[in-house]
């Protein structure tokens, strides 16, 4: 499991979706000073244009953000430059200073606050300043830093926090601890999943926190299947499916299984027919888990769908709350009697 794959994607989404909780978690004083009623502005394009071509080529590896914000009644905005670095990088402080100088040059007289969150597993690597000097000429930049490893003693507190960033930090730390131990990885993932129900999250926040936790704490197939079973049992015992975690997990698992079944059946009876039959079985299993046994007419309508409609229904059924929702969806998406172009043309 590569570090980049594990950490960069979730943290990019955190910076996109959870900047206020991010600042509240890591920099509570700065968060308190910002006038959130005036909102914040993400300067992604502007920041991208400031970077030299060689840095632009590393866009997929960078986890950063430039934000415009206002403080209280101050009519002038400030800039907040955030970097999340989860891999050791030689002379990284020089890179941070370079970015800071570029920002200051583009936004003259505007205060710039730079903060770096280190998510690597090197306890002693935490550069917090850059200094350069020649003769009597000296340049120094100090910037704020946070080391996720420093939150290790606070894991119990993180598991109870109502800030969604606490879930992300805990999942990150558990991943660092257990990357080479799938059984322990699974145990921590179960523990963190259970704690989600004990927080005062609204529906959307809870679902997003669950998704980020799952993204960070990836499991190999055997442990992942065990986790699916744990989610299923947990939700059935508590009659809580409002985060639809079980449906999401089982949908993904069954879709892959349905594809495999379809491929195998396709070798015998034709690739398209086999694939679609496998997809139909996936959808029917999900619907029966959600609503119980389906009426015969609805089962027949589902089986009559074609490939693109199966995938659309797999996405949409997560939002169904009653069997009537399925009935309405099927009425609007029944294939035309002559709709065979995809089957005939998909070679």
DSSP at 43: -
Q: The whole model's pTM is what?
A: 0.70
When pLDDT is cut at 50, 70 and 90, the band that residue 256 belongs to is low
Token reading at 180: 């080479």
- Contact status, residue 114 vs residue 92, Cβ threshold 8 Å: no
Q: Which regions of the chain does DSSP assign to beta strands (E)?
A: 41-42, 64-70, 77-85, 112-118, 129-134, 137-142, 144-147
What are the distances in angstroms from CA 106 to CA 50, 98, 112, 132, 304? 8, 12, 11, 22, 59
Domain boundaries defined on the chain: 3-152, 244-347
Q: Which tens digit of pLDDT belongs to each residue from 82-101?
A: 999 999 999 999 999 999 99
Q: Which tens digit of pLDDT belongs to each residue from 115-150?
A: 999 999 999 999 999 999 999 999 999 999 999 999
**DSSP three-state, residue 84:** strand
List CB contacts of 90: < 8 A, sequence separation 6 or more: none
Q: Which tens digit of pLDDT belongs to each residue from 146-162?
A: 999 999 999 999 999 99
């Amino acid at each position: 499991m590569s570090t980049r794959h594990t950490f960069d994607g979730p943290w990019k989404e955190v910076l996109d979706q959870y900047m206020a909780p991010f600042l509240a978690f890591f920099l509570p004083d700065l968060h308190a000073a910002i006038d959130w009623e005036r909102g914040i502005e993400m300067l992604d394009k502007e920041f991208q244009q400031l970077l030299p071509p060689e840095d632009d080529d590393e866009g997929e590896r960078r986890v950063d953000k430039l934000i415009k914000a206002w403080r209280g009644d101050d009519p002038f905005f400030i800039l907040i430059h955030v970097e999340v670095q989860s891999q050791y990088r030689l002379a990284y402080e020089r890179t941070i200073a370079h970015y800071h100088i570029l920002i200051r040059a583009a936004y003259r007289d505007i205060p710039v606050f730079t903060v770096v969150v280190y998510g690597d597993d090197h306890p002693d690597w935490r550069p917090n300043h850059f200094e350069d000097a020649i003769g009597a000429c000296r340049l120094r930049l100090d910037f704020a830093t946070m080391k996720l490893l420093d939150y290790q003693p606070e894991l119990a507190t993180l598991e109870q926090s109502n800030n969604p960033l606490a879930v992300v930090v805990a999942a990150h730390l558990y991943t660092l601890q257990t990357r080479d131990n799938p059984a322990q990885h699974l145990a921590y993932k179960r523990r963190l999943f259970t704690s989600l129900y004990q927080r005062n999250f609204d529906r959307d926040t809870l679902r997003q926190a669950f998704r980020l936790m799952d993204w960070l704490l990836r499991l190999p197939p055997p442990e992942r299947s065990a986790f699916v079973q744990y989610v299923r049992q947990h939700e059935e015992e508590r009659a809580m499916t409002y985060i639809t975690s079980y449906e999401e997990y089982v949908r993904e698992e069954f879709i892959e299984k349905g594809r495999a079944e379809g491929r195998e059946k396709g070798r015998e009876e034709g690739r398209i027919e086999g694939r679609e039959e496998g997809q139909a079985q996936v959808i029917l299993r999900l619907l029966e888990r959600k609503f119980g046994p389906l009426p015969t007419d609805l089962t027949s309508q589902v089986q009559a769908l074609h490939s693109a409609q199966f995938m659309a229904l797999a996405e949409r059924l997560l939002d169904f709350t009653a069997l009537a929702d399925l009935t309405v969806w099927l009425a609007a998406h029944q294939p035309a009697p002559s709709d065979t172009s995809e089957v005939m043309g998909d070679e």
